[in-house]
Amino acid sequence: MQDLLRPEAPGFPVAIPPGHVGPVTLPGTGRTVWWTGRVAIGLLHEPRRQAGLSESARWVQALLLAPRAC
């Protein structure tokens, strides 16, 4: 059987007091998850947003916003 990593084990990445149920902030990311007492739920992937528009996005935007000749 595989060894399980328990919150009270040394080296567990987050210090969770015994009996705690509620929000826990993950170190390094600042994301908050809900600790149920046995597992953490609420981990969502949040892709990083780019600071600006890509060249192709600017080209499409210019094409759509250009005045049309009738």
**Residue 38 carries which DSSP code?**
S
Q: What's the pLDDT at 70? A: 66
d(CA 53, CA 61): 10
d(CA 21, CA 8): 14
Q: What's the pLDDT at 27? A: 81
Q: In this predicted model, which residue has the larger pLDDT, 35 or 8?
A: 35
Cα 15 from chain centroid (whole Å): 20
pTM score: 0.47
Phi, psi of 48 (to 5 degrees): -70, 140
d(CA 32, CA 10): 21
